[in-house]
Amino acid sequence: MSAGALMVSAPASGHGKTTVTAALARAWTDAGLCVRVFKTGPDFLDPMVLERAVGSPVRQLDLWMGGPEHCAALLHRAAVEADVVLVEGAMGLYDGTPSSADLARRFGLPVLAVIDASAMAQTFGALALGLATYRSEPGLAGVVANRSAGAVHARMLRESLPPSLRFYGALPRDAGFALPSRHLGLVQAAEIADLEARIRAAAAALVADGPIPPPPEVRLPEVHEPVPPRRLDGLRVAVARDAAFAFLYEANLDVLRALGATPCPFSPLADEPVPEGCGALYLPGGYPELHLDALAGNAVTRGSVLAHHAAGRPILAECGGLLWLLDALEDTQGRRAPMLGLLPGAARVGERLANIGLQTLALPEGTLRGQTFHHASAEVRLAPAAHTRAALDHGRPEPVWRSGRLVASFLHLYFPSNPDAIAALLRP
C-alpha cells in the first residue's frame, strides 16, 4: 500500500519538530487530505498535541518496544486509511538505539529536517547537507527552517541549500507558535488553553507562500499482526484518565480491546468511583504531584479503589499510578499530601531526572517491554517482587512491587510487547 509519507526529524531536541509536524498535519488536513500521524519512541506528550492537530489518535512507533512487525502493521493500517502519513522523530535524527534514522531506513521514509535557524545564516545549508550525507540512508527530502527572523532571513536560508534539498518553508520566530514545557517535556495539550490557535497560526505561516505539495509516495509493506485470543472477553477494565493520569499509549487500549476487554475511563480528579462492574483497574502515569489537594480529598474515588483491592481484583499501576498508591506524595516545592495508602511508603518528585530508558520486565505471567522516565524517588516498605532489566548498559533497574493482585512500578508497559502477559495480569 502506498501513501505520501515523511519522517519529521531534526539535528537535536528543541528544534521544533512537534510544532512543524502539527503545522504540516493541519495544513494538509485543511487542504482536504486524510492525514495520520505517529510519534517515534516512547513519548506521551507530543502525541497529545499532534492528536489535536490532526483530529485522530496518534500512536507510537518503537522498533524495540513493539518490534518491526508491529510498527509495519501500524504503518500499513495508516496507509490504507490516509493520503499522508507523518512520523515525528525523537531527539536528533541519529540519536538513540534505535534512532529515528533507523526507523526511517527500515520503512523507506524520506526525512524532513527541522532546523532552528534563529542563530545562523548560510551555516543552515551546511548543517542540512551534513544530515543528508552523513549516511546514504535515510534520504533527506527537504528542510524546514524554524524561528526565522523574517523574509530576508528565510531567503538566505533557502539559498544556502544545495539544489538536491527542497526548502519546505520557514516558520517565523513567534512566541505564539511555541509550546510550553515542564520537567517531563511539553505541557499536556489539555492544559494549553490556546493550543488550537497556536496550531492554526503555525499552519498558516507554513503555507504563507502557497500550499505545500503532499510528500513523496512511499510503498509500505502489507503486514497484519496476529489477533490474540480473547482471554479477557467481557471484562470491563477501569482506566484512570484525566490530567493527573494521562500518560497512556493508545496501543495499550487497542490490546485491551483485541483481548475482548472494554476500557472504561474514569477521573480520579473529578472524584469519580471505579466504574461499576469493572473487574480490573489500570492506573497509568501522569502528573499526580500537580494535583495533590484534589487527589488527597477524593473520598469517593479512594473508597472505590480500596474496595476494588480488598475484593482481590487486579490493579496495574505505572509511574504516576504507583505514586498515587503510596501513603504520601511530596511535590517539587516540598508540599506533602496523603495518597491512597495501598502500598506502604512515600515518594518525592524532584527537579532532577531519577531514571530514563527502555526496560524489560520478566514476571511469572510473561516478559514485557516498556520505558521509564521519571523525576520521583520512592521509599516503599515492601520488598520488591522483581526488578526490571535496562535495555542499555547505563540504565538502572526499577523495582516492581506486588500486593495481592496489585502490581506497581515506575515502568510504563507497552502492552503490544506481550498481550498474553497483560491478559494474565488483568484476568480476575
Judging by beta carbons within 10 Å of its beta carbon (0-12, 13-18, 19+), is residue 62 exposed, middle or buried?
buried
* pLDDT confidence of residue 186: 60
Active-site residue (options: 71, 264, 278, 319): 319
- Taking only the tens place, the pLDDT of each residue in 4-52 is 999 999 999 999 999 999 999 999 999 999 999 999 999 999 999 999 9
Helices (H), 285-365: 292-296, 299-310, 320-325
Q: What is the pTM of this model?
A: 0.94
Please state, in angstroms and rounded to a whole number, the distance separating the CA atoms of residues 356 and 394.
Answer: 10
* pLDDT confidence of residue 75: 97
Please state, in angstroms and rounded to a whole number, the distance separating the CA atoms of residues 322 and 68.
Answer: 30
- Taking only the tens place, the pLDDT of each residue in 366-397 is 999 999 999 999 999 999 999 999 998 777 99
Domains of the chain are: 2-219 (3.40.50.300), 236-426 (3.40.50.880)
The three-class DSSP label of residue 128 is: helix
Contact indicator for 339, 328 with CB cutoff of 8 Å:
yes
Please state, in angstroms and rounded to a whole number, the distance separating the CA atoms of residues 428 and 421.
Answer: 13
Residue 113: its H or E element: strand 111-116
Contact indicator for 415, 249 with CB cutoff of 8 Å:
yes
Average pLDDT (326-341) is 97
Confidence label for 181 from pLDDT (cuts 50, 70 and 90):
low
* pLDDT confidence of residue 189: 75
Distances (CA, A) of 191 to 196, 198, 245, 287, 356: 12, 13, 13, 12, 24
Identify whether 319 is a catalytic site residue.
Answer: yes
101-115, 185-199, 273-287: range with lowest mean pLDDT: 185-199
- Taking only the tens place, the pLDDT of each residue in 213-227 is 889 999 998 999 899
Average pLDDT (209-215) is 86
Average pLDDT (235-255) is 97
pLDDT at 193 over 90: no
- Taking only the tens place, the pLDDT of each residue in 142-162 is 999 999 999 999 999 999 999
